[in-house]
A and B are shown apart, each in its own frame.
Chain A
Amino acid sequence: MELPGPFPVGRYAKTLRDELRKRARVQLIGEVTGLRQTPKQSYFELRDSEGAVPCTIWANELEQLKLPDGALRDGAEFVAGGGPDYFIGSQASSPGFSFRVTQLRLAGEGDLLARLDALRKQLQVEGLFELQPQLVRPLLPKAIGVVTAETGAARRDLLAGLERRGWRGTVVWAFAPVQDRHAAPAITDAIQGLAAQPQVEAIVVTRGGGSLADLWAFCDETLCRTVAMLRVPVISAVGHERDSTLIDDVAAVACSTPTHAAEAAVPLDCIAARGSLERSAGSLRRAAEGAVPTRTPHLVSLARGPARALRREQLALNQKTREIRAASERGITERLGFQRRLATVVLERARRRAVGPDMERRREALHRAAVALRAHQPERTLERGYALVEAGDGEPVTSADAAVAAERVRLRFADGSVGARIEERE
């Protein structure tokens, strides 16, 4: 297809300029760089990590803005209001595009916070805040990488923090500018360089405190996306507690100071761990040394078990014997008592029987028997006139021959005895 034209270039340049001037007037925010001032105009670039726009401002307009002395300088963060323009060139100067600035002011916290907020929301929606915190951080890394300024308190503080933990690993430094438009790409490169080293198990990114503009490199989108996607845990310690940069949101851990970052990078307090290890070694030593001695008394006790059991049984047996004997004696006494009580009852019953209704009759029979008995007594016979012959020894002489033989006898009468001599047998 054949293109329209050809058109005279001057007319085309004017058309281009007119078209550009129709575009909406806007405000841009970025870092001033390449500032060059002439009596008529000031030239500079407004730049961030993604790109830049050439800007021009008329000297008289700049003067009317009454910016503080030296405020417009390279590296300063500015908000420029205006619109695109095209200089069609002249006999003495070349044509060129520029952003014609009519308003210019130092970027404030508000401008930066608004940009930060929008970027934060964007990364959060993409889930980039959730990746790093899921990475496992080793308790005792052998090597950690650190991105920081070569000179500065952050480096010194971090090193002091690591030494306080008694850590004896390797710190791999990747120094980078931490505050200008070169900072964000340099920090990104440093982080990627450290992550490429297999020894590096965690990366610390740190710098001291400052304004949000000072810390702006750590809100860089490319840098933050790189950190979020890294497979090595990143610990950020940028600024102080109140300075919240975007890298804090995407990092595995955000710390308020380099000292805290040292503790996060080496979670194990090596000094305390050595103490704990010594105590463990002591426990093991005591357990090993005491393994046999602590069991010996028990073994001895077990060995003595049978004899002790026998003695215990013997004692129990003796006790039982004593108890049985005591019980037996107690039984005999009780039985004797019982028998006595029984005899008493029987005798009492017999006595009662004896003194019953037959008593009188028995007494009479007894009397009769006594009378009958008395009738048979020799005294009764003597009373009736008989005499009893007794030998000298008192034995009765019951025959004549015995009387002759005895020669002397006694004659016993009822009222007494007399001696007699046997003279002859008749």
Chain B
Amino acid sequence: MTEKPDSYEVAVERLEQIIDRLDSGQAGLRETLDLCGEGRELVTYCAAELDAVGEGLKELKLDELATKLASSAEAGAT
């Protein structure tokens, strides 16, 4: 895999295709090794998406979010 998947859904779909192909036993040695490499990258990507925030569910009030965005926009402008 050279490009980052567009979304978690796309990554999971491709991962399922890879597992199906490997399970079929029809992939040759080179293809198997390539698919394993691509699959590992997808697993890493999906795991990172699942842990997007990291520590757990985070709560924010709308006005806090708006303030945060405004201050980061100001910081960007300066």
Contact = CB atoms under 8 A, between A and B. Distances in A.
B77 interface: no
Contact of A140 (B18, B40, B50, B62): B50
9 contacts: A139-B7, A140-B52, A162-B57, A172-B65, A174-B61, A197-B69, A268-B8, A270-B50, A288-B33
A169 B33 contact: no
Contacts of A174: 61-62
Interface stretch (A119-127, A275-283, A370-378, A389-397): A275-283
B3 interface: no
Nearest to A142: B52
A138 B36 CA distance: 27
Contacts of A197: 62, 65-66, 69
Given A138-B7, A281-B40, A172 B51 contact: no
Interface residues of B, number: 36
Contacts of A162: 57
A163 interface: yes
B59 to A, nearest CB: 5
Interface in B9-42: 9, 12, 15, 18-19, 22-23, 29, 32-33, 35-36, 39-40
Given A277-B50, A280-B39, A284-B19, A292 B29 contact: yes
> Interface extent on A, as a size class?
35 or more
A172 B55 contact: no
A281 B43 contact: yes
B62 A172 contact: yes
A280 B61 contact: no
Interface in A107-164: 138-140, 142, 145, 159, 162-163
Given A172-B65, A277-B46, A288-B32, A139 B54 contact: no
